[in-house]
Structure 1
Amino acid sequence: MKSWIFTFCFVLTGLCSKVIAQEIDVKLGPNEIGENQAWTITITVSNERLQSYDDFPDIEGFQKRGTSSSSSTQIINGQISSSQSITMTYVPQRQGQVNVPAFTMTVNGKKISSPGTTVKVGAPVQRQRSRDPFRSLFDRDPFDDFGGRGETEFIDIDEDAFLALTTNKKEIYVGEGVTATLSFFVAESNRAPLQFYELGKQLSGILKDLRPENCWEENFNIENINGESVEINRKRYTQYKIYQGAFYPLNAENINFPQVGLEMIKYKVARNPSFFGQNRQEDFKTFYSKPKTVKVKQLPPHPLKDQVAVGDYHLSEDINQTETETGQSFSYQFGIYGEGNVSAVNKPMIDSDNNFDFYEPNVTQNINRRGGRVTGSKSFSYYGIPKEPGEYKLGDYFQWVFFNPNNGKYDTLKSEKVLSVIGESKKNESIQSNDLGSFYDEIEFADNTLESLDNDDWIQLLANLLILGMLVTSAVIFLKK
């Protein structure tokens, strides 16, 4: 039986005849502590499972030391009353007054508030000895013998735990996704007490080093860290996923994940534990992952290899009508769905001609990140106007080329819809409908009588004399000055 600090909570169901409504309470620690004592904030959820909660507040003058959890269940007259608590422990950084400001947290989707308080941190407090009425006979606490005459010896227990970065693929193509998971593994036989320490602050620094620069990232956004039982080399472990993301290389450079470290709280335990006094001592240890490299391959030769999306995609299409008239609009949706970097999916290529007018599409995108996979869809909604009667296969107009890494081949999604168009040709009308401007509007009313250009010579002579006179006048004024 493992005895480390991670605590799992549960709720009994099916045993009660009445269900009590959920209650959420926040409790602050005492208003006066010693410099060597801890102060706490405890969130308690009654009659409901503790599913989610915000980060506890940062308090100036206090330093976070980690969380602990507990649960309790009572059955009275066939009625179940249960509660779960999560406690954040703070340690003072100095003596004096510490102001705990008012704060708000969201627990199980419900906002709870605390008015805050003021905590007086005094001198270190000595551990009180047992009030034994026969103290004078012994001149010491008889229970001190359990701790070696008041001095407790703490020992370090070897932990059976490790930090690891794993990937679901060792080799990928450019544009193909690889899912990387950073996890902390603890063996079920582990006996060393362990606890996460300021995970949020550490994770921001870890991801800064971990994320490759030559990739597009899809973050799975792990909010709550829950243990999951796994088997590694025929040994049972509990896996705590800290981060998970899918990476899509933008070029043929290999993806290199460096070594990263995670600092954990590791407690030393008393060599001779007793019912009195302190039986464990807080310490720290950093666990390191091993570096990992994922090989990236170039796509096979193809005229569009630098433009195509990479993934396992399928076509979903829809058209509002299969029969229409020339000059009447219709709508057509070209939908792409499957597994891959949906954000990189571009609109299909359209082989346009004089038979249709197609307008820029409206785009709708959905992305799902679940179970270590990134799936989704991207649809392009077009409006078209046919200009010539006839029967048209839309596959001649709408095509989308992609590379499927599962079979290592290029593939094409092609429309299978057929549109029948009746009516008269609208090609000439499309030309007439264009506005050529006010200049062409006046042509119909302009005089087209031919006139000789030779009669304008006297006008040119008069202009030249006028310019010469202006030059002479300017020169006279300049000389006088």
Structure 2
Amino acid sequence: MNFKKTTKLLLAALVSLTANNYTLRAGDLNVTATVNSNQIAIDEQFTVTLTVEGSGNLNSIEPELPNLDEFAAYTGSNQSSNFQFINGKMSASKTITYYYIARKIGSHTIPAIVVKHKRDTYKTQPITVQIIKAASGTPSQQQGNAGERQGQATSSTAIEDNMYLKAEVDKKQAYVGEPVTISYVIYTALQVTNYSLQNKPNYGDFWSEEIPIKGSPATTERVINGRRFLIATLKKVVLYPTSIGMKTVPPQEVEVAVRMRERRARRDFFNSFFDDPFFGRTVNHVLKSNALELEIKPLPAANKPRDFSGSVGRFSMTTSVDKRRVKTNEAITLKTIISGEGNIRTLSLPQPKFPESFEVYDPKVSEKIERAGGKIKGSKIFEYVIIPRDEGTFRIDPIAFSYFDLTTNRYKTLSRGAIDVEVLKNDKQVSATPRGLSKSEVKLLGKDIRYISLTHREFRPIDEKFYSTPQFWVLFFGPVVVLFAGIAYRQHQEKLGTNIAYARSRKAQKVASKQLKTAHAAMKNNDVGGFYAELARALTAFVGNKLNVQESALMRDELIKSLLSRGIESEIVESFDAMLQECDFHRFAKPDAPEAAMEKAYQQVNELIVALEKKL
């Protein structure tokens, strides 16, 4: 009896332990799905938000989005992550927002979203939504060309109502030389497939330093007046004012390619299918930012140092020599490094005072500029090579550098102590004069000795005729060959200068190779968005250069039409189309991709460019 009782207790404990273990595993993640509204008007945007909460790294989750094409059109997605540490325990959450356009009136169910994490599978609850008629219907479009003209006329208005470019500045007042950071930010409620900066504003009385944006611009969401906008910084520049007064920063122009949904009469299945925004019309539109008014103040006149040269910022300085004990005519290197935050390129250092017996060469000046975090910082290095000509103990006076400090709004002078150098007599010095020759005294005296030649000259037979040698025929026909080669090269250069299509076609492979290298670097850095963006640019730029398509028309549908009109096989065109779709998908819908998938896409683009090179 004791044995049976013990066995039952062990089995009960094992079952309880297993059940508890299963509960913990099932409780690893909490997965929920929500919509912004359960009642949606036809042609109105709605969102499905997937929230995953748990512990540990959630980057490996793989949501399986259900197909909602029957009643909604997918337009893109957005995601964010959050981490917290409470009492030594980490909790994490990941939110993915999917955007749709309601397309069919009626009651519809959004099926469960499946999430796979490690070896477990999780499902959300189905959601029911009601799509109703819009409160104020739009008039029906006229048939034929009149309808197309109407759609084109309203495209610009629709874009302006849903997208704008804003110049944002970190300060409206600044001193002369004080950095002012301007960010050009796009606010959009539409799908942007591409953009290009049209002009470089004339900043006039400003010294400008642009801060590069690596890869695709990072995006965030913001609700403005009840509307949800996607926000991205397209350009960031730091300006250093050079004069006082009210200054105007001119607008920046950006050309964007916007995917517009075409309104079609729903007479059959195909019209309904191509009504999807993914197959919609691409519209190019130029956005213009607002101009900025800045007040530039003069630097304070009080307590301004005499050696102040206009440097403004936050700096530090170090001074050193490579050796303090040398012999006459041996070189010494004096190095001064000014580091900090400000306009490094315009920094200048007062001329140090050296002993008269020191020969001083012009300094070697180098710069190290860092553009990160919206600021310009770095260091400027001044290296003086000096040669003491007399023996003795000498002192190099302290080196001073004055600047206006933006932290305290006061002038500061950085100074390092004097440097003592002991110069000993050089035993190897052969000159009878107490000083060696300076660089201005060194002259070329000439060559008055001809050395004995240690190599014999080549001998030729006396009766050999020159016209019977290969050298004669090379000299005879060589000019003719050079003349024809020069004519061919000149024609090639003229064709490059006058025939834009020929020039673009010749450089297409080189441009594509450069962009593919950039894409490969982004892949190595695990920059998925940047990788697929550069991959798409390489493919579209190659075809655009080969076909001489304007940069403003480098859109997928236009390029496909051009390829088909050139008689390119449909199989190659379909591969071209599929690859661009895959790039857009990973850039806007699914920013994560395994390295193997990126390697495969990289290889496919290379093969596709080779195939197009043979056909075009």
- TM-score, normalising length from structure 2? 0.40
- TM-score, normalising length from structure 1? 0.49
Q: Tell me which protein shows more helix as a share of its residues.
A: 2
Rg comparison, structure with higher value: 1
Q: Relative contact order (alpha carbons < 8 A, sep ≥ 6): 1 or 2 greater? A: 1
Q: Tell me which protein shows more strand as a share of its residues.
A: 1
